[in-house]
Amino acid sequence: MKNIKIKIDNIDVIVPEGTTILEAAKKVKINIPHLCYHPDQAIKANCRLCVVDVSGSKKLTAACSSFVYEGMEVHTNTKKVRDMQKGILELILANHDQDCLKCLRNGNCELQALCQRFNISKTNLEDTVDALPLDDTNPSLIRDSAKCVKCNRCVDACQKVQEVHVLTHSHRSVHYNITPAYEMPLEQTFCVFCGQCAAVCPVGAIVEKDDTAKVWDAIYDPKKHVIVQVAPAVRVALGDAFNLPKGSIVTGKMVAALRRLGFDKIFDTNFTADLTIMEEGNELIQRLTKGGTLPMITSCSPGWINFIEGRYDHLLDHLSSCKSPQQMFGALSKSYYPEIAGIGSKNVYTVSIMPCTAKKYEAQRPEMITNGMPEVDAVLTTRELARMIQSAGIDFVGLEEDQFDNPFGIGTGAGAIFGATGGVMEAALRTAYEVITGKGLPGLNFTEVRGLSGIKESTVLIDDMELKVAVAHGLGNAKILLKQIEKGESPYAFIEIMACPGGCIGGGGQPIKSTREVKEKRMEAIYKIDEDLPLRKSHKNPDVLKLYENYLGEPLGHKSHQLLHTHYHSRGMKYNFSELTK
Amino acid sequence: MNRTKTEGFGILTRELAQEIDKTINLYQSNSTKLVGILLDIQGIIPKQYIPREVAAYVSEKMNIPLSKIYDVISFYAALSDVPRADYVIQLCDSVVCKVTGNTTLRDTISQLLGIKEQESTPDGKYWLEYTPCFGACDISPAMRINGKVFGHLTSQDSVKAVFDQYR
């Protein structure tokens, strides 16, 4: 590709053809202000904050949408540019509910940072916040249009990345807004609660529903035995909130912090991830050998479950009947755990720390009940856990490392890689291969299913059986595999689908600014955890084997079915027009 | 939660569905003609609007996301997502009509019908709304009733004369 030489603020920059001014400026450490620009998204040029002065042009130019050309001279800091940027910022602010001190994004808000940068103190504009009602009736997300800056990042995430098409821009002029069709609350739309909109929102217009107060109350209640499980993807992302390098593995510090917060026992969701593999792997073997709907599709990702139950409910037979690792843990926490710990099951309060906003929705599903109690009482996202740690005044970085408690403290490498796209597939293959052949796997790493390409496929030879598998992450990619199934053209026996791009490491509940670059680092960290563990196959987890021996019996057995499996059903969201067209 | 709707719709009858099918076919289901399709459909629905169930039906028939259809309906003043009335009165809100004095026009209508902008009469017969310029500047101040343009509405009598036709 051709290189282009330009000058930005009199500094020479050489960048490849097709680079925008904004990206070229980044190379020489000039941060042009922006709100709608996001490195992983398409060019939008909505907010106009990134205007710069290009020599020879009478009007100001949007740096995010203008490409460099040979000899271009850009000035990012002239009076004209600054006055314009300040003016735009004041206009945005006049239409923004400035309840910053009480906002979840206080201290982590791009608009706030820009106001600080431009030293916005007083303006002569009158505030007119024209807002739709607050949408807070679902368990996962809160949308507050009074804080929306209309940057359209959430629309990009919802329409182009996830292809769920719930959020759209609507109306025009002063009534321009971001909303679902007919301004319906999210739970009455096809929204899957993946939270990718919240993850890209520059301000506090879409945030997770904060459940930290509920968890504090439980911890302070002396009658409650509060236990917590932590998902595999949290330990490689939590460090972001404490300014550690991206992709830092903070497992030990995280456990130590949870202990200081006052949780009675700290357990690892990796353990129930291993358990999921035992159940799901055996379910796959059963479907392959005794007949059953193929391809079988994983059921770990609640955003994905909401998607198939909403739009593709005619394909539900393809889903594994396994509950997700979160719910498997929850079920055991209200049955097996109270028995062995000698605690009344009514006193056990189960919290999970998840990289996910859809997990909040999953935990409240009416069928996720064991012994008459909700399996998981509260779900916190990675962001909420970070807030609790900060709120307790814990110096996270300085903590001594601690270890998970028994009996749900051991997770194998197979459980650990659940956090990255392709991980469930790889873990399942490690177990299925050995269970079917009775032989040891020659190599443990199924590298074809790793990485960030949208759809990955592989063919695995198990004895003389060729097993074709596929992995998709991001619901837009999932759609492609589903359309194959609809047409009866799917060549696969087993498919892993994760709702979020990158899998759980890119979940909607992860620390803000989880860009593709950050996801790659988290992914490396996840596979490092796997490499470093002595046990890397789920069926070798000694505590899982003990659990089967002492309590569950065998995979897919009666007790397993009762506790670890469920029935996925249509959300009944679609209009049924068949009567009209008869 | 919004359960599966099998037991029939409020507005979307089998006959209306057939009419909608015809309209969509007339435009070869071309998504770039969506505005025209929606205007035609709105024209055959009582109270001149596009309810959610109809938008969802068009969404399924044309394979366009419902959110996109709503974006279009909410963008254009000529399309409505809320029930209006048998007669939709549109007052031009652009510069020329303002300069030539459309306040008399607005006040006379409000007096005659007892409604303000974005309101309908209790009997559901008339609805009043502002609209961007529809190109009748030469006869301004102007209004449209169900698409028909009336101009030179500078006096109370001229406005009343128009409404006599719509009793």
Is the per-residue pLDDT at B12 higher than 60?
Answer: yes
Question: Tens digits of per-residue pLDDT, B78-105?
Answer: 899 999 999 999 999 888 988 888 888 8
Task: Give the pLDDT mean for A7-13.
Answer: 96
Contacting residues of B for A166, CB less than 8 Å apart = 67
Q: Answer yes or no: do B108 and B155 share one domain.
A: yes
The structure tokens 């060729």 sit at: A466
pLDDT at residue A456 in the model: 96
Q: Which H/E stretch holds residue A457?
A: strand A455-462
- Check if the beta carbon of residue B24 is closer than 8 Å to that of residue B58: yes
In a domain, A74, yes or no: yes
pLDDT tens digit string along A205-248? Answer: 999 999 999 999 999 999 999 999 999 999 999 999 999 999 99
Dump pLDDT digits (tens) for A347-363.
999 999 999 999 999 99
Q: Does pLDDT of A427 surpass 70? A: yes
Nearest CA in chain A to B18: A581
Catalytic residue among A504, A519, A538, A560: A504
Residues in chain B closer than 8 A to A574 (CB atoms): 4
Average pLDDT, chain A: 94
Domain residue limits at A139: 95-208
Q: Could you give the ipTM of this predicted complex?
A: 0.91
Q: Give the gap in angstroms from C-alpha A579 to the nearest C-alpha of chain B.
A: 7
Domain end marker among A149, A179, A208: A208
| Residues A168, B68: C-beta atoms closer than 8 Å | yes
* Range of lowest pLDDT (A463-467, B23-27, B119-123): A463-467
Identify all chain B residues contacting A178, using CB atoms and an 8 Å cutoff. none
- Say whether A575 and B14 touch across the interface (CB within 8 A): no
The residue type at A457: E
Place of tokens 């190599």: A443
CB contact under 8 A, A170 and B71: yes
Here the tokens at position A454 are 């949208």
Whether B68 maps to a domain, the answer reads yes
Residue B27 lies in a domain: yes
Cis peptide before B141 (omega within 30 of 0): yes
Cβ distance B53 to A575 less than 8 Å, yes or no, reads yes
Report the amino acid identity of residue A243.
N
Q: A204 and A140, same structural domain?
A: yes
Tell me, what amino acid is at B27? Y
Residue B81 is assigned to a structural domain of this protein: no
Residue range B131-158: mean pLDDT, rounded: 91
Partners of residue B52 in chain A, C-beta under 8 Å = 181-182, 184
My answer on whether B48 and B116 are in the same domain is no
Q: Which amino acid belongs to residue A213? A: A
Please state whether B80 falls in left (phi above 0), alpha (psi between -120 and 50) or beta.
beta
Contact A375, A368 (CB under 8 A): yes
Domain-embedded: residue A106: yes
Instruction: Output the six-digit token pair for A539.
Output: 């069926």
**How buried is residue A412: exposed, middle or buried, by Cβ count under 10 Å (0-12/13-18/19+)?**
buried
Buried b (16+ CB within 10 A) or exposed e, A469-497: bbbbbbbbbbbebbebbeeeebebbbbbb
Percent of chain A with pLDDT over 90: 90
The residue annotated as part of the active site, out of A320, A352, A458, A514, is A320
Percent of chain A with pLDDT over 70: 100
**Band of pLDDT at residue B3, cut at 50, 70 and 90:** very low
Classify residue B3: in a domain, yes or no: no
Other beta carbons within 10 angstroms of residue A90's beta carbon come to 16
Task: Based on the fold, state whether residues B93 and B156 are members of the same structural domain.
Answer: yes
How many Å apart are CA B111 and CA A139, to the nearest integer?
48
> What pLDDT digit, counting tens, does each position of A365-408 carry?
999 999 999 999 999 999 999 999 999 999 999 999 999 999 99
- Containing structural domain, residue B41: 14-75
Of the ranges A304-308, B7-11, B37-41, which one carries the lowest mean pLDDT score? B7-11
Mark yes or no for CB contact A181/B69 under 8 Å: yes
The distance of Cα A174 from the centroid of its chain, to the nearest Å, equals 33
Instruction: With respect to residue A136, please indicate whether it lies within any of the assigned structural domains.
Output: yes
Q: How far apart are CA A523 and CA A12, in angstroms?
A: 35
pLDDT exceeds cutoff 90 at A463? no
Cβ neighbors of A221 (< 8 A, separation 6 or more) are: A349
- The CATH number that applies at residue A29 is 3.10.20.740
Q: How far apart are the CA of B4 and the nearest CA of chain A, in angstroms? A: 5
Q: Which tokens belong to A18? A: 């097709």
Residue at A578 is within a domain: no
φ, ψ for residue A179, nearest 5 deg: -160, 160
Q: Is the pLDDT of residue B1 over 50?
A: no
A329 conformational bin, left if phi > 0, alpha if psi -120 to 50, beta if neither: alpha
Do residues B35 and B59 share a domain?
Answer: yes
DSSP class of residue A303 equals H
Contacts of residue A94, defined as CB under 8 A and 6 or more positions apart, other chains included, come to A123, A125, A126, A127, A128
Q: Kindly state whether residues B94 and B159 are assigned to the same domain.
A: yes
Phi and psi torsions of B47, nearest 5°: 70, 10
Give the containing element (helix H, strand E) for B158: helix B156-164
Tokens of A358: 């859809």
**CATH code for position B106:** 3.40.30.10
pLDDT of residue A582: 66
Taking the CA of residue A549 and the nearest CA in chain B, the distance in Å comes to 42
Instruction: Write down the catalytic residue from A367, A466, A486, A517.
Output: A367
* Rounded Cα gap, residues A516 and A19, in angstroms: 18
The pLDDT assigned to A344 comes to 92
Whether residue A386 contacts residue A350, with contact meaning beta carbons closer than 8 Å, is answered with no
Measure the CA–CA gap between A342 and B25, rounded to whole angstroms.
69
Neighbour-count burial for A505-531, b at 16+ CB within 10 Å, e otherwise: bbbbbbbbbbbeebbbbbbebbbebbe
B contacts of A572 (beta carbons < 8 Å): 1-4
Confidence class for position B77, pLDDT limits 50, 70, 90 = confident
Q: Are residues A49 and A105 in the same domain?
A: no
Residue B71 sits at φ, ψ, to 5 deg, of: -55, -45
CB-based contacts of B123, cutoff 8 Å, min separation 6? none
CB atoms within 10 A of CB A285: 18
Structural contact between residues A164 and A158, judged by C-beta atoms closer than 8 angstroms:
yes
- In chain B, the percentage of residues whose pLDDT exceeds 70 is 95
What gap in Å lies between CA A203 and CA A198, rounded to an integer? Answer: 9
- Cβ pair A159:B65 closer than 8 A: yes
Average pLDDT over residues A16-42: 96
Quickly count: other Cβ atoms within 10 Å of residue A159's Cβ. Answer: 19
- Domain assignment present for residue B82? The answer is no
Dihedrals phi, psi of A319, to nearest 5 degrees: -70, 140
- pLDDT, one tens digit per residue, over A252-289 is 999 999 999 999 999 999 999 999 999 999 999 999 98
Tell me what the mean pLDDT of segment A75-87 comes to: 95
**Looking at the 3D structure of chain A, how many domains does it have?**
3
In a domain, A577, yes or no: no
In this structure, are residues A162 and A499 in contact, taking their beta carbons and an 8 Å threshold?
A: yes
What does the pLDDT read at residue B5?
39
The closest alpha carbon to A358, from A196, A475, A212, belongs to A196
* Contact present, A8 and A122 (Cβ < 8 Å): no
Percentage above 90 pLDDT, chain B: 63
- The residue out of B55, B75, B95 marking a domain boundary is B75
B159 & B93 share domain: yes
- How many residues are present in chain B? 167
The tally of CA atoms less than 13 A away on the side-chain side of residue A399 is 23
Please give, rounded to a whole number of angstroms, the shortest distance from the CA of B78 to a CA of chain A: 12
Shortest Cα distance, chain B CAs vs residue A138, angstroms = 10
Residue B8, in any domain of the structure? no
Domain end call among A55, A73, A92: A92
Which residue, of A77, A92, A107, is where some domain finishes?
Answer: A92
Residues A231, A322 share a domain: yes
The enclosing domain of A101 has a CATH number of 3.30.70.20
Residues A461 and A347 placed together within one structural domain of the fold: yes
3 state SS of A494: strand
B167, two tokens = 């009793």
Q: Is A199 helix (H, G, I), strand (E, B) or coil?
A: helix
Is B121 within the bounds of a domain? Answer: yes
In a domain, A268, yes or no: yes
Same domain, A455 and A517: yes
Alpha helical stretches, state H, A291-324 = 302-310
Residue B147's DSSP bridge partners are: none
Same domain, B96 and B159: yes
CB contacts of A188 in chain B (<8 Å) are: 1-2
Does one domain contain both A82 and A204? Answer: no
Do A203 and A346 fall within a single domain?
no
Average pLDDT for A22-51: 95
In a domain, A484, yes or no: yes
Confidence of residue A81 (pLDDT cuts 50, 70, 90): very high
Interface of B with A (CB under 8 A): 1-6, 8-9, 12-14, 17, 21, 52-53, 55-57, 60, 65-71, 74-75, 81
Closest to A320 in 3D by CA, of A506, A2, A127, A565: A565
**What are the pLDDT digits (tens) for A321-340?**
999 999 999 999 999 999 99
**Domain assignment of residue A346, yes or no:** yes
The residue from A23, A208, A279, A280 that is catalytic is A280
Same domain, A165 and A280: no
Residue A403 to residue A157: CA distance in whole angstroms: 37
The domain total for chain B is: 2
Give the C-alpha separation, A297 to B22, whole Å: 40
pLDDT of residue B10: 81
